Amino acid sequence: MAKIGVLALQGAIKEHIQQIELLGHEAVTVKTSDNLCGIDGLILPGGESTTIGKMLERNDMVEPIKAMAQQGTPMFGTCAGLILLAKKIKDFKTPHLGLMDVEVERNSFGRQVDSFEVPLSIPSIGDELTAVFIRAPHIVSIGEHVEILATYEERIVLARDGQFLGCSFHPELTDDVRILEFFIGMVNEFIKVPR
């Protein structure tokens, strides 16, 4: 059983917790840096990246999360969470955590349609996954070690950079747990590595 932390400052938190528990793992609500202690992986949920970013600073959580990343802890960002993880945010001077080697653009699927759902086929994960996009970002460019896992309308919407998984959409808002299972696979690989 893995211990998965869910950053719980703002956004879609309980849906991630429910999915983690549904898969038989332990979910840890992470509101302070003390809560990071002992977790095997961290999920950064969707919400509003500017708000969550400010709260991370205010709660002195930026450096502790970076230190965990330095130790190899897997991290999964969905939507705003992807923006928090990214090394670059288009049209913004500074990143939030600046960990995953991608550049993202915020609110990049047009303003008329704030949210929509599409079925996606993701070769390394499965077919017919329902992707829920809500004022979603997309990945505009990637570093050389980043693996593209899914695209939608020729835009990168799911990618992996070693220990980091970043997703434009909200897998936790469906009852399909395959992307979370994929992340837990990454966590299990990490747990096996002697530390």
Query: By the criterion CB under 6 A, which residues form the site for ligand GLN?
Result: 46-49, 79-80, 83, 106-107, 134-135
**Pair of tokens at residue 186:** 């990454």
* Minimum CB–partner distance for residue 46 and ligand GLN (Å): 3
Mind spelling out the 3-state secondary structure of the chain?
A: CCEEEEECCCCCCHHHHHHHHHCCCEEEEECCHHHHCCCCEEEECCCCHHHHHHHHHHCCCHHHHHHHHHCCCCEEEECHHHHHHEEEECCCCCCCCCCEEEEEECCCCCCCCCEEEEEEEECCCEEEEEEEEECCCEEEEECCCCEEEEEECCEEEEEEECCEEEECCCHHHCCCCHHHHHHHHHHHHHHHCCC
Helices 62-70 and 49-58 pack at an angle, to 10 degrees, of 90
Residue tagged active-site, from 25, 79, 105, 138:
79
Please say if 172 is a catalytic residue: yes
* Residue among 50 and 188 whose Cβ is closer to ligand GLN: 50
Residue tagged active-site, from 25, 105, 167, 172:
172
* Minimum CB–partner distance for residue 189 and ligand GLN (Å): 27
* Residue among 11 and 41 whose Cβ is closer to ligand GLN: 11
* Residue among 107 and 141 whose Cβ is closer to ligand GLN: 107
* Minimum CB–partner distance for residue 137 and ligand GLN (Å): 6
* Minimum CB–partner distance for residue 11 and ligand GLN (Å): 6
* Residue among 40 and 47 whose Cβ is closer to ligand GLN: 47
Please say if 170 is a catalytic residue: yes
Please say if 145 is a catalytic residue: no
Give the residue numbers annotated as catalytic, written as ranges: 79, 170, 172
